[in-house]
Amino acid sequence: MTPGLDALSRRDLLRAGAGAALAAYGLAGCGIGHGIRGDVNRVIEPKVDGDLFYFNYSQYINPALVKEFEKRYDVRVIESYFDSMEGMLAKLRSGNAYDVMFPTAEYVQRLIQQEQVLRIPRDKLENLDNIYGYFNDPWYDPDSAHSVPYSLYITGIGYRADILGDLTGSWDDLANEEAAGRIYVLDDYQEALAAGNLRNGFEMNTVVESELNTTEEWLVGLKPLLRGFSVDTITTMSSGNAWIQHLWNGDIINIRYRVDDPDAYVFEKITQDGFPVGSDAFCIPVNSEHPGTALLFIDFMLDPKNAAKNVSWNGYPMPNHGQDETFQELAKGDPNIVVTVDDLEGGDQFANLPQDDRELWTNTFLEVKAS
């Protein structure tokens, strides 16, 4: 036998296995990475109580505004990033303490259910009146008690009008033969399945297995035409790799900032089949150590002048009347990127699916990717 490994006998292995089984039994029901805990009803005031630990997608807020906030309140803003809602949850569950984060609507609902976000004292925010009335009592956060909306988005298709001309307004444009080998679908199970569900005439949030199987077949059928799955939509389009990219409305603004011929890059709203519409929001995690500074930051971003500055950099509309004119100007050449209250009220928003249904969705997408 190999020296050093002689000591590892069958008995040792059996002991280790039994030890693992006992440990598993003893720990049964205990949470792994138990997440963050705290008093959701903690009373907080908008005042400087330390530096701000900010947790968001990267490049989703105007850095000039961050600097302005730092200067105005003499605090530092320490930025951390996630690249998906699931990644955000994973980092939260590890016990990291952030002061402000930006979950999407269904994740706000989930965080409220898990008691992981603080109640926001709405009466203490000076600029809340600028927010669209729709968000006074949104479906995901009754009475808007735990969140303040940040931005709006719709999912559609970005494409090279200079090469492809006009498209049809349907999710079938992701199967455009002329662009074969230069098409990307979002590497996001919700968005990919939503496109398929809507294209096939199903409810966007369907959990009917036969319908999801049909969507899966459609996505697998797309694969020979695809160049890849990617959420790095700005890079794929601005680098010339993509002629058609499944993407969010604000990204087309960012793409146009980076290319020589901005008018060639167009956003298509999928009016024929329907499209996902959504929002994300400011939330304060229940274990925030500086919630006062977080409230000041939220109020600062709600200021109409700052909202206008943010959208002109970000490209995503905010549900804030202060930015309406600025965003209309930005969207002048491309009204498809505007998100209206009608879109929110009548459109398809992602639901906070229960665990079994979510597993069905993620397994369906896994089968698409692995096949």
Partner 1 sequence: MLAPAGVWLLLLFAVPMGIVVLVSLGRTDPIFEAVYGWHPGNYADVFDPLFAPVLLRSVTYALATVALCLLIGYPIAYYIARFGGRWKTLLIAAVVLPFLVNYLVRTYAWVAILSDEGLANGILQDVGLAENGVRFINTSWAVIGGLVYGYLAFMILPLYAALDRMDPALIEAGKDLYGNRWQTFWHVTWPAAFQGVVAGCVLVFLPAVGDFISAQLLGGPDTYMVGNLIQQQFLEAQNWPFGAALTIVMMGFLLIWMLLYVRSATRASREASA
Q: Applying CB under 8 A, does 221 fall inside the site for partner 1?
A: no
Q: Distance between CA 215 and CA 201 in Å, rounded?
A: 10
Q: Applying CB under 8 A, does 70 fall inside the site for partner 1?
A: no
CA proximity to 310, closest of 68, 78, 98: 68
Cβ at position 370, least distance to partner 1 in Å: 5
Q: Applying CB under 8 A, does 3 fall inside the site for partner 1?
A: yes
* Residue found by looking up tokens 């292995």 in the block: 13
Q: Distance between CA 105 and CA 110 in Å, rounded?
A: 9
Count of residues near partner 1 by CB under 8 A: 52
Closer of 297 and 365 to partner 1 (Cβ): 365
Cβ at position 142, least distance to partner 1 in Å: 18
- Measure Cα distances from 290 to 54, 114, 147, 156, 265 in Å: 11, 21, 16, 37, 42
Cβ at position 241, least distance to partner 1 in Å: 5
Contact predicate 188/247, CB 8 Å: no
Q: Where does this chain touch partner 1 (CB under 8 A) — which range of 202-210, 226-234, 277-285, 297-305? A: 226-234
Q: Applying CB under 8 A, does 35 fall inside the site for partner 1?
A: yes
Contact predicate 219/190, CB 8 Å: no
Tally of residues, the chain: 371
Residue 41: helix, strand or coil by DSSP?
Answer: coil
One character per residue 105-144, x = contact with partner 1 (rule: CB under 8 A): -----x--xx------------------------------
Cβ at position 189, least distance to partner 1 in Å: 6
Q: Where does this chain touch partner 1 (CB under 8 A) — which range of 45-53, 89-97, 146-154, 326-334? A: 89-97
Q: Distance between CA 229 and CA 369 in Å, rounded?
A: 9
CA proximity to 55, closest of 98, 96, 107: 98
Q: Where does this chain touch partner 1 (CB under 8 A) — which range of 121-129, 236-244, 247-255, 278-286? A: 236-244
Q: Applying CB under 8 A, does 362 fall inside the site for partner 1?
A: yes
Q: Applying CB under 8 A, does 358 fall inside the site for partner 1?
A: yes
Residues 294-353 that bind partner 1 (CB under 8 A): none
Q: Applying CB under 8 A, does 95 fall inside the site for partner 1?
A: no
Q: Applying CB under 8 A, does 163 fall inside the site for partner 1?
A: no
- Name the pairing type of β-strands 100-101 and 52-56: parallel
Q: Applying CB under 8 A, does 13 fall inside the site for partner 1?
A: no
Q: Applying CB under 8 A, does 367 fall inside the site for partner 1?
A: yes
Q: Where does this chain touch partner 1 (CB under 8 A) — which range of 23-31, 45-53, 119-127, 264-272? A: 23-31
How many other C-beta atoms can be found within 10 angstroms of the C-beta atom of residue 161? 16
Q: Which member of 201, 240, 335, 346 binds partner 1 (CB under 8 A)?
A: 240
CA proximity to 125, closest of 9, 44, 22, 204: 44
CA proximity to 331, closest of 323, 343, 342: 323
What is the distance in angstroms between the CA of the first residue and the CA of the last residue of the chain? Answer: 42
Residue 101: helix, strand or coil by DSSP?
Answer: strand
- Give the footprint of partner 1 on this chain (CB under 8 A): 2-5, 20-21, 23-25, 27-35, 84, 86-87, 89-90, 93, 110, 113-114, 181, 187, 189, 223, 226-229, 232, 235, 239-241, 354-355, 358-359, 362-363, 365-367, 369-371
